[in-house]
Amino acid sequence: MSTPHNSAKMGDIAETVLLPGDPLRAKFVAETYLKDPVQFNAVRNMLGYTGVYKGKKVSVMGSGMGVPSIGIYSYELIHFYGVKNLIRVGSCGSYTKDLKLYDIILAMGACTNSSYSNQYKLPGTFSAIASWDLLYKAKQSAEKQNIDVKVGNILTSDVFYTPDADEYKKWAGMNVIAVEMETYALYCNAANAGVNALTILTVSDSIATGEKTTPEEREKGFTNMMGIALELA
């Protein structure tokens, strides 16, 4: 069964899918880590692949930028292709000087300035949190590989460029440690469908210090994050 955004057939996609935002990062992960990867999607150049990692079937697919994009792709993966474990592997901006470039975050929860949860017509504010099973396994995976990780709360923002350069300090004051643009929607979709989701992030730039990585470094340099995620399959 194909969708307007995915040409895969039922069975082409594994129950565990890694979701980098950049489709070229999906291609890099497939070619670098998976055995015998097969491309299942190229619609809108949102590349998706399925292969084998340590004897287990695993898929990786780009999710695009922002809440609407990952909202569409994750919904279709869950409801049209039977995906049970969705693991976002992405980049983020640090809100604290304690987090350096290439540090890794396991997103325990996601705050947001998005209206994504309004669709559920809840009588309050939904707290979007990771699936405990994946979060716990990811922490164990990191420890076994001697990779330091920070577990904490992040912000999923609809805004990349803001006229208020100090806005991040308000979130940092609530111990929100980093910002990205997708996790809240992913966690909402997973919670609503009763499946598992986790976001693993690598710090690509620091809002607090102004440091940043290059696009090529973000595409190919975040290897520790991939090592943690792939062990969850």
Q: Using one digit for the tens of pLDDT, what is the confidence trace for 140-153?
A: 999 999 999 999 99
The pLDDT of 96-104, averaged and rounded, is: 95
Q: Is residue 1 part of a domain?
A: no
Q: Tell me the two tokens of residue 191.
A: 């919670």
- pLDDT one-digit tens code per residue, 8-23: 999 999 999 999 999 9
Pairing relationship of beta strands 16-19 and 56-61 according to DSSP bridges? parallel
Report yes or no on 48 lying in a domain. yes
pLDDT for 220 equals 66
pLDDT digits (tens, 9 = 90+) for 79-97: 999 999 999 999 999 999 9
- Residue 217's pLDDT is 78
For residue 141, the 8-state DSSP code is H
Residues in CB range of 216: below 8 A, 6 or more apart: none
pLDDT band at 218 (very low <50, low <70, confident <90, very high): confident
Q: Which amino acid is at 153?
A: N
| Report field, pTM of the whole predicted structure over 0.75 | yes
Establish if 8 belongs to a structural domain.
Answer: no
Residue 108 within a domain: yes
- The CA-to-CA distance between both ends of the chain, in Å, stands at 24
**β-pair type (128-129, 104-112):** antiparallel
Please return the burial class of 129, using the count of CB atoms within 10 Å of its CB with bins 0-12, 13-18 and 19+: middle
Is 103 one of the annotated active-site residues of the chain? no
- Given a cut of 90, is residue 111 above it in pLDDT? yes
User: Which among 187, 178, 229 has a CA at the least distance from the CA of 32?
Assistant: 229
What torsion do the CA atoms of 39, 190, 200, 157 make, to the nearest 10 degrees? 110
Single out the residue of 57, 18, 69, 24 nearest to residue 42, CA to CA.
24
Residue 10 domain flag: no
Residue 87 lies in a domain: yes
- Per-residue pLDDT, 216: 77
Mean pLDDT over 98-111 rounds to 96
From 12, 22, 103, 205, the catalytic residue:
205
Residue whose C-alpha is closest to residue 203's, from 141, 154, 169: 154
Tokens read off for 165? 């350069």
| CATH number of the domain bearing residue 200 | 3.40.50.1580
Q: Does 196 map to a domain?
A: yes
Number of residues in the chain: 233
Closest alpha carbon to 94 in 142, 152, 138: 152
Identify the pLDDT of residue 221: 67
pLDDT confidence of residue 219: 66
> Per residue in 144-170, is it b (16+ CB within 10 Å) or e — as a string?
eeeeebbbbbbbbbeeeeeeeeeebee
Per-residue pLDDT tens digits for 192-213: 999 999 999 999 999 999 999 8
Residue 36 has pLDDT above 80, yes or no: yes
Count of the separate structural domains present in the chain: 1
Say if residues 33 and 100 touch (Cβ distance below 8 Å).
no
What is the residue range of 199's domain? 16-230
